[in-house]
Amino acid sequence: MRLFVLACLIFAFSLPAQLLGTFSEANSSAALAQQTKSDRQTTSSSKQAKNKNSATADTQGDEPWWKHEVIYEIYPRSFADAKNTGMGNIKGITQKLDYLHDLGVGALWITPCFPSPQVDFGYDISDFCNIAPEYGTLADFDELVKEAKKRNIRIIMDFVMNHSSDKHPWFVESRSSRSNPKHDWYVWKNPQADGGVPNNWLALFGHSAWQMDPQRKQFYYHFFYPEQPDLNWRNPQVQKAMFDVARFWLDRGCAGFRLDAINTLYEDPNLTDNPVMPGKNAYGDPNMDDINNYLLLPDIHRTLKDLRRVLDTYPDHPVLLGETTAEQLDQLVSMYGDKNDEIQLPMNFRFAYTNKLDVAKFRKHIAEIDRNRLNGWPTYLYSNHDERRHYDRYGDGVNNDQITKMLAALFLTLRGTPVMYYGEEIGMANNDPTRIEDVQDPIGKIGWPLQKGRDGERTPMQWSAADNAGFCKVKPWLPVGANYKTHNVEAESKDPNSILNFYKALLKLRKSNRALKYGEHVPLNDNDQNVLAYMRKKDGDAALVVLNMTPQERTVSVDLSSAGVNAEKAEVLVASDKRIQDNLQLAQIKLPPFGALVAEPVLAKSQRQIPGPLGENPYDSRLSRWSRHISKKTGPYASKKVNNVMIWTPIRKRPLY
Ligand SMILES: [Ca+2]
């Protein structure tokens, strides 16, 4: 996705008058833009235009796309319904590509839309190489890839490696006898002497992880539902068959995979019992430490390296985005691979699990992953189809919009790749069922009322204030969120202060601003428990981010000199609130409650520009006007009289450090 703000064409016929000023008042494009700005929007656009120009000169343009594009997760059942069936489909996504392009995201991760009995809403797959009829056809998928590519948007598919549906032909064959060619494609074990289950392992969705098959008179293992038998990854034929699945989608133009539940791929071959902990879980089972079947066994790294080698044979840097819910930092970091040869983007769930605006905690999470021992690229997210929407998780019920904006400013300005969840850009809230009979998600049915399931975060995208939020005209598969009248794409597109337009401004800025794109992360004000501040800096450019995580107005002082930046002022790049004024004094930045500011530190006006060598007169006598051509090539000029002769010099911006 490459949505650039139009560059400001400032070299109009008024330019000569500007150039005839004194040396120190010579005009750079930024200065001209400053003179014409009338409001925050103008400031933002001008700065982005300036930054776009500097991005043009990037020398790091060969970096893989996934370092700089934002990934947007789509739950296809709920995103867009092109057929008015009450549930979303592939054609619906294609129809919304212009919206996604305008938003500024660069890749779509689409959760499973493969043929499936829908026991686990698509994560029980009965054909890995097809599209489910309710979502469309392979032709629809090809059309989506083609149309997305036109808009510089890539498609990432969900890859469920751990298991298939029990209706998949592989499992049907495997369970048919103990001697068929696929008898060892799943994890089969004999009962214990008393007929009991092989060990005490529990399924994530409740009760024993072992299911007796009456035909084979053996148990098969399932980490999730019994309808989702685990594949046996110790069988090389399984690996080959699954890597062929990966090639199938890569050959169709898929830009990579999100690896579902990758931690569950291998189990302890000795079937060691898990330690039992005190108390019971939401399903009434004993609490357990799943160390022997939810463990990053060494085998996983061999498989991931092999998979990465498959991807690396394709052009344009296909990516692996991992559902890596490791509790220990080092487990997470290990997923990059010891030579960065496994998952490029292991998702860091620490933001998703932080439900408090705790400045110290955020600071710690960022530092840990930003300086990880393998120098792996950080990946951040707040919400997804399994996690409650962060609009509610962090919201205080009063300032949810401001809090959502502030959190957006955080993960869209960090060094790393953010993964958005559809609808977060308009402030969609959870809409949890209130009666068990309304629950669609099976875990909500099993675990009610302690576990209400994941329906609440999977409600239809809110496109407008029309019935069913403009998603469809029939009853949608889940009721739309309660705030759809105010929080929808149509309404927020028209409101310059909406969450949506704030996301758009940040998404544009992070592409064009060199410091945000390439800069190192420099934490600031380490002891502040109320305001999170940091800087991104790169080769003379810097961007400052200041986030008020409290409901009180805060005034902070930011000293950049320890990071080698001597600026005393800053200009707003993007701000969450109109009350945040430009021309900021770094010693006294005032932020409203939950205010968010992204600013560019600037030198004092008299220090901003330095003269270059004596230059030619940019006045083009052949054209009898000030040549835009020359000015564009050489930059702005300044003039001064020496011995009554006008001398012209190109000027350039003095680096901040
Ligand atoms: Ca497994």
Q: Are strands 256-259 and 541-548 parallel, antiparallel or unpaired?
A: unpaired
- Residues known to be catalytic: 260, 323
Considering only 453-467, 473-487, 611-625, which range has the smallest mean pLDDT?
611-625
Asked whether the predicted pLDDT for residue 155 surpasses 80, the reply is yes
Average pLDDT on 342-367 reads 94
Of 49, 110, 36, residue with least CA distance to 384:
110
302 CA to middle of ligand 1, Å?
15
Place of tokens 């010891």: 338
Helix, strand, or coil (residue 421): strand
444 CA to middle of ligand 1, Å?
23
| Percentage of residues of the chain with pLDDT beyond 70 | 83
Instruction: Give CA–CA dist 379/66, Å, rounded.
Output: 10
Instruction: Give CA–CA dist 633/151, Å, rounded.
Output: 29
Confidence of residue 304 (pLDDT cuts 50, 70, 90): very high
pLDDT digit string (tens) for 5-24?
A: 333 322 232 333 333 222 22
> In the predicted model, what is the mean pLDDT of the chain?
87
Q: What is the domain partition of the chain in residue ranges? A: 66-165+236-502, 608-657
- Token code pair at residue 495: 């409101």
Pairwise pLDDT comparison (145 vs 7), residue with the higher score: 145
Considering only 206-210, 279-283, 422-426, 630-634, which range has the smallest mean pLDDT?
630-634
pLDDT digit string (tens) for 58-85?
A: 445 578 999 999 999 999 999 999 999 9
185 CA to middle of ligand 1, Å?
11
pLDDT of residue 591: 97
- Edge-first strand order for the sheet with 218-221 is 188-189, 218-221, 210-213
Average pLDDT on 393-422 reads 97
pLDDT digit string (tens) for 570-603?
A: 999 999 998 898 889 999 999 999 999 999 998 7
Average pLDDT on 442-465 reads 92
222 CA to middle of ligand 1, Å?
7
294 CA to middle of ligand 1, Å?
8
Does the 66-165+236-502 domain belong in CATH 3.30.300.20?
A: no
Residues sharing a CB contact under 8 Å with residue 149, sequence separation 6 or more, in sequence order:
253
- Token code pair at residue 25: 């008042």
| Percentage of residues of the chain with pLDDT beyond 90 | 73
Amino acid at the residue 115: P
Confidence of residue 3 (pLDDT cuts 50, 70, 90): very low
pLDDT of residue 652: 59
Average pLDDT on 239-252 reads 98
Instruction: Give CA–CA dist 457/461, Å, rounded.
Output: 10
Pairwise pLDDT comparison (33 vs 95), residue with the higher score: 95
DSSP code of 8?
Answer: P
Helix, strand, or coil (residue 344): coil
- Those residues whose beta carbon sits under 5 angstroms from the ion ligand 1 are 162, 230, 264
pLDDT of residue 608: 59
264 CA to middle of ligand 1, Å?
5
Q: Are strands 379-381 and 417-421 parallel, antiparallel or unpaired?
A: parallel
CA-CA-CA-CA torsion sign (207, 209, 213, 217): negative
Instruction: Give CA–CA dist 186/238, Å, rounded.
Output: 9
Of 570, 562, 565, 517, residue with least CA distance to 546:
570
Residues sharing a CB contact under 8 Å with residue 14, sequence separation 6 or more, in sequence order:
none
Considering only 55-59, 93-97, 117-121, 131-135, which range has the smallest mean pLDDT?
55-59
pLDDT of residue 481: 97
Burial of 356 (0-12, 13-18, 19+ CB in 10 A): exposed
Instruction: Give CA–CA dist 199/275, Å, rounded.
Output: 11
Average pLDDT on 637-655 reads 65
Of 546, 548, 550, residue with least CA distance to 558:
546
Q: What is the DSSP string of 561-585?
A: GGGT----EEEEEEESSTTS-SSEE
CA-CA-CA-CA torsion sign (293, 295, 299, 303): positive
Instruction: Give CA–CA dist 132/124, Å, rounded.
Output: 12
Confidence of residue 564 (pLDDT cuts 50, 70, 90): confident
pLDDT of residue 443: 85
